[in-house]
Structure formats: C-alpha cells, structure tokens
C-alpha cells in the first residue's frame, strides 16, 4: 500500500514496506541524500528531518508513520542560492568540518528557532543533542545565536 506525504512542498507517494524507515525512503527511493545515516538507533541525530515541524530522527521512524504528514529535509530549507538564516550563520562561523552530521545539526537548529526564537545556552544544550565527531560544538553554539539574530532582522 502506498504511503503519501508532503516532502519539501511536493506530494509524494511511495509504495514500499510500511516499516521501512523514512530515512531510507527519502535517501534511496526518492533520492534526496542530504539527510545522513549515522547510527540506525536514533542516537546521533544525523538523520534529523522535520515531521510536521518537529525535529525527528528518521532512521527508526517507519514511513507509515508519516502518512499524511508534512516532511522537510535539508534540501527543503531554502533554495541553494538563497540560504536560510541558519545556513548563513553556519557559513559565517565556518561550522562544518567533515560536514556529515551538519544536515542533522541544521535541521535541529531550524526546529529549535521555530519554537524558541532566542534560545539561551541551556535551551541550546537541551535541544541540540546530535553527535559531531569532528567536535564543531563551540561554533554550532555561536552560530545558533547568530542565526537567531539573523532571523529577528529578517
């Protein structure tokens, strides 16, 4: 049975095992590879997408669970030539190193700022629990604050 959901503004329909995690459906069946596989147990956050606006780790989320939902991935944040405030802050602070975890970091940050436009350090600590093996954390924290300011200016 096909699962239908909205992905980055388009309605998509996939006919796959309803237990297949959303991550693999989006990466392999739909072909958007910006969202990454890191651990497969929702521990690292590399697979973070927004499901109905909520930052969600999709490596353990059956695609059936998003039937009728609105899903957004890193590719749906902004057109490549007009990056979002968070993406601009990420560039300004030169956040990524290897970059593999950064789609998940950015998605977690976008959701945090949607909910909490001017987060405190404690709120950032609580919301951004993704793993970065390169250790970009100090720049992530700075970039979250910058992104919050850029969003307010917009």
Partner 1 sequence: MTDAPAKTKRSAVRKWTRRSLLATAGMVGGGLALGLTLSPNRLTMTGDVAEKDEAILNTWVKIAPDNRITVYYPHSEMGQGVGTGLAQMLAEELEADWSKITIEQAPVTNDYVNSDLGRGYIVGDGARIPNFMYPMLDFAFLHIATGLVGQLTGGSTAIRLTGQHGMRRAGAAAREMLMQAAADRWDVPIASLTARDSVITHADSGRSATFGALASDAPGQTPNLKPALKPSSDYRIVGQSKPRLDIPHKVNGTARFGMDVTLPGMVYAAIALPAVRDAHVGAIDDSGMTPRPGLGQVVNIGAAVAVAADSYWTASQALNELSITWEGGQRDLSSDMVRATQQADLDRGDFEVMDAEGDPDAALQSGTMYEATFEVPYLAHATMEPLNCTLSITDTGADVWVGHQNQLFARNAIAEALALAPEQVTLHPVYLGGGFGRRSETDFVVLPARIAQVVGKPVKVIWSREMDMANDMYRPAVLSRMAGTVENGRITAIRHHYIDAQSGMPDSERPFAFQYDVPNRDIARVICPSPLSVGPWRSVDFTQMGFFNETFMDDLAQAADADPLQFRLDHSSNPRIRAVLERLRAESDWTLELPPGRSRGVAMVESFGSVVGQVAEISVTGDRGIRVHRVTSVLDCGRLINPVAGKAQVTGSVIFGLTSALFGEITLDKGAVVQRNFPDYDMLRLANAPAQNVHFIASDDPPGGLGEPATPPITPALTNAIFRATGERIRQLPISKHGFYAV
**Residue numbers of the site for partner 1 (CB under 8 A)?**
16-17, 20-21, 24, 27-29, 31-41, 43-44, 46, 73-75, 77-78, 80, 83, 87, 90-91, 94-103, 106, 124-126, 128-141
- Please give the Cα distance from 138 to 117 (Å, whole number): 19
Q: Closer CB to partner 1, residue 6 or residue 62?
A: 62
Phi, psi of 82 (to 5 degrees): -130, 75
Whichever of 7 and 46 has its CB closer to partner 1, that residue is: 46
Spatial CA neighbour of 148 closest among 108, 113, 106: 113
| Residue 154 C-beta: closest distance to partner 1, Å | 17
CB of 16 to partner 1, least distance (A): 7
- What strands lie across the sheet with 70-72, from one edge to the other? 10-14, 3-7, 70-72, 48-51, 54-57
Q: What's the closest the beta carbon of residue 4 comes to partner 1, in angstroms? A: 19
Least separation, in Å, of the C-beta of 12 and partner 1?
16
Token duo for residue 41: 């147990």
């Amino acid at each position: 049975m096909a699962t239908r959901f909205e992905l980055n503004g388009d309605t998509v329909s996939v006919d796959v095992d309803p237990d297949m995690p959303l991550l693999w459906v989006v990466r392999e069946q739909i072909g958007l590879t910006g969202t990454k596989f890191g651990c497969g147990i929702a521990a690292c956050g590399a697979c973070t997408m927004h499901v109905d606006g909520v930052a969600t780790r999709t490596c353990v989320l059956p695609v059936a669970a998003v039937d009728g939902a609105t899903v957004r991935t890193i590719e749906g944040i902004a057109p490549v030539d007009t990056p979002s405030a968070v993406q601009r802050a990420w560039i300004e602070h030169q956040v990524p190193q290897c970059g593999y975890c950064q789609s998940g970091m950015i998605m977690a940050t976008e959701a945090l700022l949607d909910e909490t436009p001017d987060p405190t350090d404690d709120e950032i600590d609580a919301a951004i629990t993704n793993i970065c093996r390169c250790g970009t954390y100090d720049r992530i924290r700075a970039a979250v604050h910058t992104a919050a300011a850029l969003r307010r200016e917009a």
